[in-house]
Amino acid sequence: MNVDEELSEAVVMVIGFRTRNYPRLDYTVLAQRFGVSRAPGMASRVEAILDELGRVEVDWSKHSLASGGDDARSFMAGRHPELSEEALAALDWKFTFDWR
């Protein structure tokens, strides 16, 4: 499957990967990038991915924070092959931040 560059960019932007000191969801950035008419649809797609990320189960008795993040990233990569490596890194960053 090909990478969905726009969805991947939206994931990175909403999480604030590489632009903030910690993940903080900000959907308002989507209107600036994708326009007011497309922003709600992009937001829905990102929300669905983040909801799925929040439901990833990790056996913390067998994992460190880093290896748990790796597992979550692998899970999301398998479920969403359309996401870029940067988007997957953003998801890993958010997941490990939320669990620290």
Average pLDDT, the chain: 95
Radius of gyration, CA atoms only, the chain: 13
**CA 65 distance to own-chain centroid:** 17
pLDDT band at 86 (very low <50, low <70, confident <90, very high): very high
Contacts of 97 (CB under 8 A, 6+ apart): 22, 23
Do 72 and 92 form a contact (C-beta atoms < 8 A)? yes
Separation of alpha carbons 42 and 11, rounded Å: 9
Whether the pLDDT of residue 28 is over 80: the answer is yes
Half-sphere exposure for 3 (CA within 13 Å, toward CB): 13
pLDDT at residue 98, rounded to an integer: 93
Averaged pLDDT for residues 7-32: 97
pLDDT band at 100 (very low <50, low <70, confident <90, very high): confident
